[in-house]
Amino acid sequence: MKKTLSVLLILLTATLTGICQKYEAETATLAGGASKQASSAASGGYYVAQNAGNLTFNLTFTEEATYNIYIQVASPNGFKANNLVVDGSAITFTTELNKNYIKLKAVSFLKLAAGAHIVQITNSWGWISIDYIEFEKVDPATRFNTNTTLISPNPTDEAVRLYQFLYDHYNKKIISGVSNVEEADWLKTNAGKSPALVGLDYLFCNRGYTTWYDENQPFNQGKAWFDKNGIVNFHWHWRDPSRVTEAFYTADTKFDITKIFDETSAEYKAMISDIDYISGQLKRFQDAKIPVIWRPLHEAAGGWFWWGAKGAAPCKKLWQIMFDRMVNVNGLHNLIWVWTREHNDDAWYPGDEYVDMVGRDIYRDGDHSSQILEFNDMVNRYSGKKMVTISECGSFPDVDNLLKDAAGWSWMMVWNGGFVRDAKYNSPDLWKKFLASDYVITLDEMPNISTYSTTGLINDQKDDLKIFPTYFDEQITIHSKESNQTISIFNQLGICMSTFKSENSTSIISTSGYPAGMYLVKADENAAVKVFKR
């Protein structure tokens, strides 16, 4: 009898978790040309032809619960993009050509309180056929499975400590940020506090602007900010690598990113040269023991930058080559790599092994909602493994909405100029309220990242073996977790070039006489670390 009751309880729990509530599209309020149409293929015998119109559902739920939201939809007129809006918070969903209905998951893990809610499907492109919407109850405890390792092999201690800080506060607090130091100082004067994170740019570097630009500025500003316990974030408005123009917008340069597949091309060599130069700039931070949040090739799928002008494949390849070049060739291990998502860009994503975090750039003037639908979509899209951020924004979320909706963004960065200072985007009172909130981390509340405690994050090499530099001339320094380890160096053919016992945790090894190429270094049974001799 006891066993029977246990089985019944398990079945009841599973049933409650998967409960679905379906609302036929024809029961919605239709406007703007949306029309009810009869069809034997549709649930209930009817569907709504959206045309250029909108649908509004006025729904009431008897209890608080967390839901996935599905749309039963056909797209007989080809690819379309439209909006799902829940209580004023919107997300764009897309449909490919499909004449038969499909069930599209539009929203994941959305918490809705008991009571009335307004759900809308609004026109962006329009011209889809909507059969019904469906709400499926889900267990919110299954939402997150956040990575506890950085993708770079042998990350620096400072990078691990910064990632630990981000990990510890994810979905608990939001880290405040703006896109340059000047705006951070302005907020200190006008809103009483400085944000914790600043965004810096390599926009003017390596272009020969020496008569009016100091190439030391990015490092000097970043170091000064880190010395205040701030977080340093870099993006890169990468100008035409060929130097034919000074542009980064697709409309202003014909630079061909597809040449990334041709290692003999001038374009490939120009891209590699720029990557190596910026690697040298970032290496200054590593040498100074400063971790950097690194967000290159942003907004790629939007197509407005040259790195997104030719589709997903060359951009993805460029990201992967940049990672390999910066990490494995140029020896950068202080970076936390952030991919900036755009709508409909799954094919562009470099892969989990190349991305630590995922950002979303959101510009919706005057919209201070939590962007909960965007948050939930990104958490679901990356299987809860990647922390997600508002990597850029104009108007930022009201902190009350973040708390109400449990929108657990890691950090947010408001773009500079009017987006920070103009009340059209963000009022002074909203800034003061945001920066004063206990939920928001500001500069004065930041710990010293250099000494921040790590509590269980395990990295790829488990910190057992670190080698600097990974791109070397005549010697390398090997840091092993313990002394008296057997350290071996193998060439690409698997031939052991050298084996020795480490007398202490740090060993300096001469590689004089080794030919140029790739080598693998192992300590006892630890994973091998890849290094390169020039």
Q: Could you list the active site residues?
A: 299, 392
From CA 374, how far away is CA 425, in angstroms rounded?
Answer: 19
DSSP class of residue 327 equals I
Q: What is the CA radius of gyration of the chain?
A: 26
Closest CA to 107 of 125, 91, 130: 91
Q: Given the structure tokens 């001469």, which residue do they identify?
A: 510
For 218-250, the three-class secondary structure string (H helix, E strand, C coil) is HHHHHHHHHHCCCEEEEECCCCCCCCCCCCCEH
From CA 143, how far away is CA 381, in angstroms rounded?
Answer: 11
List strands edge to edge, sheet with 54-61: 29-31, 54-61, 115-122, 80-86, 89-95
Strand 174-175 versus strand 387-393 pairing type? unpaired
Please say whether the beta carbons of 393 and 415 come within 8 A: yes
Answer whether the bond into residue 469 is a cis peptide, omega within 30°. Answer: yes
- How many helices, marked H, and strands, marked E, lie in the chain? 10, 29
Please say whether the beta carbons of 368 and 386 come within 8 A: no
Angle between helices 266-287 and 312-323 (to 10 degrees): 40
Closest CA to 267 of 226, 223, 321, 336: 321
Alpha carbon 120 to its chain centroid, in Å, reads 28
Strand 440-441 versus strand 465-468 pairing type? unpaired
